[in-house]
Structure 1
Amino acid sequence: MARVMVAMSGGVDSSVAALLLLQQGHEVAGVTLKLHDGREAGEKSTRTCCSLDDIDDAKRVAGTLGIAHYVFNYEDAFVEQVIDPFVRTYCLGQTPNPCILCNRFIKFDKLLVQARALGFDYVATGHYAGIRQDEDGRRILTKPKDLAKDQTYFLYAMTQEQLGGTLFPLHALIKGEARRLAAAHGLITARKRDSQDICFIPDGDHGRFIDAMTDGAGGDFVDAEGNRLGTHRGIWHYTIGQRRGLGLGGLTEPLYVVDIRHEENQVVLGPPSALFSEALQADHLNWIRPLTQGQSMRVNAKIRAAHTPAPARVTLLPDETAEVVFDEAVRAVSPGQAVVFYDGDDVAGGGTITDRTKIQHGRTQAL
C-alpha cells in the first residue's frame, strides 16, 4: 500500500476521497492549502473553497477519519501563479480560468513536489476524473463515471509525471453515492454545498475585484464599424457572448459582446450571428496523447467548462500553436479560455485560446 496525501478542500468530495483511500488500505494524511483568507471581496460565501472555515471543516473530517491533517500556506504562490495572471488576462480583454491555473501550478505542481519531499507516493484529490494507462504505457486522463460532474476540462494541463503521481478516488462514483458515503461515516461535509464561485472572489463579482486592483478606466462600446454606442465600465467586466449587464438603453435589437479590443479600450457589440466562429487558434499546449508538427487529429473540442464538445480537426502548426477547425461553427469562442481535445472519453490535450477565426478560400483568417 502507498502513502497518500489527500488535498482536502473542506468539501464532501475530497472528504470521501480520503475515506475511500483509507478503506483501500493506504496510509493517508490530509492537507488543506491556505491560498487566501476567503474574505477579500468583503463578504462570506458558502460556495467557494479554501477559506478559513473550509480549513476547519477539513480538520474535523480528518479527526473523524483518524488521520493527520496539515495546512500548507501557499498564499504567495497563489497570488503569483493564479490571481495576478487572472487580473492581467482580463485586462487584456480575455477570459481566464483560474481553476486551471491553480491545478497546473499549485495542486499538481507545488503540492506534489512538497508531498514527495515529505515521503508520500501520491497526491489525491476529490476531482471527478480518471487516469489509465494505454498500450504504450502512457498515462491518459479520462472522463469519470459521473459525466455530469466531469472535471477533466480543468485538468488537461497535467503532465505525465503529474498523472503518475496523482490518484482520483472518485472516478467510479456518482455524486449522490459520495454524499451517502460521507453521511454513513458521520462526515460533517456530507450535506455541504458544492463550491461554484471563484474561490478568491466570494461574492462572485470579478469586475469589482479587478476594479480594486487596477488603474484602468472605462471606454467606448462600439459596433463592428467603430461607431460609438455608449460607455463601458472597463473591459475586464465583459466576455464574449455577454448580453446582460451592458447598461445600454434604447436598443432596437439585442446586442452581445462580440469582440474586445484592449489596445483601443473598446468593447464591440453586435448581433448574435456575429458570435459564431468556424475555427480558433490556441497556444500553451499540453499533449497527453502526443501530436507531431503538421499532424492532424479528429477530436471533440470543448471551448469552455459548460460547452458540449464539438467535432473538429486539430492541427499542430510549426510554431507549436494549434489550429482547430470545427465541423460546424461554434458560439462565443473566448480568447483566454481553454480549449480541450477529447478522443472519446480520453483527454488528448488542450491549450489556451488566442484567436477565433473564419474559413475563407480554404484558409483560416482572424475575425
Structure 2
Amino acid sequence: MKILAAMSGGVDSAVAAARAVEAGHDVVGVHLALSRMPGTLRTGSRGCCTIEDSMDARRVCDQLGIPFYVWDFSERFKEDVVDDFISEYEHGRTPNPCMRCNEKIKFAALLEKAVALGFDAVVTGHYAKVITNENGNRELHRAADWAKDQSYVLGVLTHEQLKHAWFPLADTPSKAEVRAEAERRGFSVAKKPDSYDICFIPEGDTREWLAEHIEMNIGDIKDTEGNVLGQHEGSQAFTVGQRKGLKIGHPAPDGKPRFVLEIRPKSNEVIVGSKELLAVEEIRGIRCTWAGEPVAQFAEFIQRPAELGAASADIDITSQVRAHADPVLSSAHLEWVSDDESNDENALRLEIVVRLKEGLRGVAPGQTLVMYQDTRVLGQATINRAYSLDRADV
C-alpha cells in the first residue's frame, strides 16, 4: 500500500512510520506546519508541531530512507481549531482543541489531500485500533494499553475516515516498549518527553492567552441563590469545576471550597457552589457523529423522518468526557428536538441524551462526550448541557 505517515516529531509517530516501512509499504513522511510563527520552539514537553519537532521528524525519515515533506496547514488550523477555541470560550463553553484538530486537520484536511494524491491510508502514532467487523465495516476500538489509549480523541472520526486510518501501535502493550523500540532503531526521539498542554498556548496559561484574544468585562460571581459574592474580570476565562482563581475573599458559610457550577455569558455571571453541586446525572449532546456505522438501534432511528419529540430506544453504553477520565456506566437514546439556532421554526436537530448510572462531577458544556460499548467507540457528541435532575437553578 501507499502510506502517508503523519510525523509529529515524537517517538510514537516515529515508531509507527518505522513499522509501516518494515511491513513493506511505500511510505512517505509528512509533518504538519500548524503555526506561522517561525521562531516557535518547544519548551521541554510543552507544545508540539514546532520547528524542533519538524527537524526531529526529518531525521527519522532520513534514517528510514523515506521521503519527507512539510505541509503548511496553518491557515486551516487557525480557522478550524484556534478560532473555534476562542469562539467556544466566548460563549461560555469549554472546548477540546485536540478533538477539533483530529477532526478538522489530521483526519479531514490531511486525509483529503492524501487520498487526492493517491495514498491508500494515513498512519499516525495514536494508541487506538481499527478493525473490520463481520459485515466488512470498520470500527474504532481502544488500544491494548488502556493507560495510553487515545481512542477518546479519535472519537470524531467518521466511517469514511476510518477506511483510510491505520494505527500501528494499537496492540503495543506499553509506551515503554515503544521507547525501547525507538532506541533499538537508533531514533534520537526515543527519550523525547511527551507533549502536553495546548499546542498554540505553549506557556500553558490559558486564562492569560484568552485575555489577549477575547474582550473581557467585569461581572458578578454569584451563589445558586443569586447572592453576589464577588466579581471577576471576565466570565469567559472560567470553566465548570474550577476551584482556583475565584478570589471571592471570604469562605463559604460551611468553610468548604467553592467551585464554578455554571458560566452565563449573556449576563457575564459566574455561578459557584459546593463540590457536591457539581454532580451530574444527565448529559445532552449535540452535533453527534458516528465512528463507523451507527449501532443498529441508532441507525434505524436516524433513518426515520424527523419528528419533534421522537426518541429512540435506550442502549447501554459507557461514557467518557475527558481524554484521561474513567468511563462510566450509562444509558443513552436519541431525540429530535427544536433547533433553537435555526431561523426555521420547524427545524429539528438530533440530540443524544445520556443518563449516568455512576457519578460524574464538573462536566462542562463544550466538552466532548465519547460513547463506548466494551472497547468499541460508537461515536461522539458536543456536550450542550450537563445537569442534576434535582436542580432547577443550573
Q: What TM-score does the superposition give when structure 2 sets the normalisation length?
A: 0.88
For 1:186 and 1:42, the matched residues in 2 are separated by 23
Alpha carbons of structure 1 residues 42 and 69: separation in structure 2 relative to 1, 3 Å: closer
Alpha carbons of structure 1 residues 78 and 328: separation in structure 2 relative to 1, 3 Å: same
For 1:366 and 1:135, the matched residues in 2 are separated by 48
Secondary structure (helix, strand or coil) at the match of 2:152 reads helix
For 1:210 and 1:282, the matched residues in 2 are separated by 25
What residue is the counterpart of 1:136 in the other structure? 135
For 1:222 and 1:307, the matched residues in 2 are separated by 29
What residue is the counterpart of 2:316 in the other structure? 298
Does the alignment pair 1:9 with 2:8? yes
For 2:231 and 2:19, the matched residues in 1 are separated by 54
CA positional deviation for 1:218:
2.9
For 2:191 and 2:40, the matched residues in 1 are separated by 26
Do the aligned residues in 2 keep the contact of 1:38 with 1:50 (CA within 8 Å)?
no
Alpha carbons of structure 1 residues 316 and 222: separation in structure 2 relative to 1, 3 Å: same
What residue is the counterpart of 2:265 in the other structure? 262
Superposed counterparts of 1:1-367, under 5 Å: 2-37=1-36, 44=43, 46-173=45-172, 174-251=174-251, 252-288=255-291, 289-290=294-295, 291=298, 292-293=300-301, 294-318=312-336, 319-359=349-389, 367=394
Secondary structure (helix, strand or coil) at the match of 2:82 reads helix
**How big is each residue's C-alpha offset from its partner over 1:166-225, in whole Å with a ceiling of 9 and x where there is no partner?**
110100112111101110111111000001111111011111111111223232111112
For 1:160 and 1:254, the matched residues in 2 are separated by 45
**How big is each residue's C-alpha offset from its partner over 1:140-191, in whole Å with a ceiling of 9 and x where there is no partner?**
1000111100111101111111000011010011211110111011111100
CA positional deviation for 1:269:
0.8
Do the aligned residues in 1 keep the contact of 2:103 with 2:157 (CA within 8 Å)?
yes
Q: Which amino acid aligns with 1:269?
A: V
For 1:29 and 1:42, the matched residues in 2 are separated by 25
CA positional deviation for 1:296:
2.1
Q: Which runs of 5+ in 1 are unaligned?
A: none
**How big is each residue's C-alpha offset from its partner over 1:305-343, in whole Å with a ceiling of 9 and x where there is no partner?**
222111111101123111000113321111100011110
Secondary structure (helix, strand or coil) at the match of 2:186 reads coil
Secondary structure (helix, strand or coil) at the match of 2:191 reads coil
Secondary structure (helix, strand or coil) at the match of 1:355 reads strand
CA positional deviation for 1:236:
2.7
Q: Which amino acid aligns with 1:135?
A: E
Q: What TM-score does the superposition give when structure 1 sets the normalisation length?
A: 0.95
For 1:328 and 1:142, the matched residues in 2 are separated by 22
* Percent identity between the two aligned chains: 39
**How big is each residue's C-alpha offset from its partner over 1:53-80, in whole Å with a ceiling of 9 and x where there is no partner?**
1111111111111111100001110011
For 2:147 and 2:238, the matched residues in 1 are separated by 27
Secondary structure (helix, strand or coil) at the match of 1:269 reads strand
For 2:59 and 2:376, the matched residues in 1 are separated by 36
For 1:161 and 1:343, the matched residues in 2 are separated by 20
CA positional deviation for 1:46:
3.2
CA positional deviation for 1:233:
2.4
Alpha carbons of structure 1 residues 271 and 41: separation in structure 2 relative to 1, 3 Å: farther
**How big is each residue's C-alpha offset from its partner over 1:97-142, in whole Å with a ceiling of 9 and x where there is no partner?**
0000000010011101111222211111000000011222221100
Secondary structure (helix, strand or coil) at the match of 1:320 reads strand
Do the aligned residues in 1 keep the contact of 2:123 with 2:168 (CA within 8 Å)?
yes
Secondary structure (helix, strand or coil) at the match of 2:169 reads helix
Q: Which amino acid aligns with 2:212?
A: A
